[in-house]
Amino acid sequence: MDLPDNLAAAGKQHGVRFVLSTDSHQPGNLGFMRYAVDLARRAGLEAKDIVNTQPLAAFKADLKRARQ
């Protein structure tokens, strides 16, 4: 997430759900996930606000809803 934490917090207040990722282009960058997690924590996001923390069935359902 390259979104500033204050905007992520505002999004949460409006029901926005998020996906955390590293945007890695090589395996050595996978450790960058910590930056996304840090941002989510600063924004007050919880697991329920982050789509890719859900069980697979719930994740798929979220994707299906997003495509409608």
Residue range 29-52, pLDDT digits in tens: 999 999 999 999 999 999 999 999
Pairwise CA distance, residues 18 & 24, whole Å? 17
Structure confidence at residue 4 as a pLDDT band (50, 70, 90): very high
pLDDT of residue 6: 96
pLDDT of residue 15: 94
At residue 20, the 3 state secondary structure works out as: coil
What are 50's strand-pairing partners?
18
At residue 27, the 3 state secondary structure works out as: helix
Averaged confidence pLDDT in the chain: 91
Domain boundaries, the chain: 5-67
Token pair 């992520």 in the structure block, residue:
8
Biggest distance spanned by C-alpha atoms of the chain: 36
Pairwise CA distance, residues 47 & 52, whole Å? 9
**Residue 1 in this model has a pLDDT that exceeds 70:** no
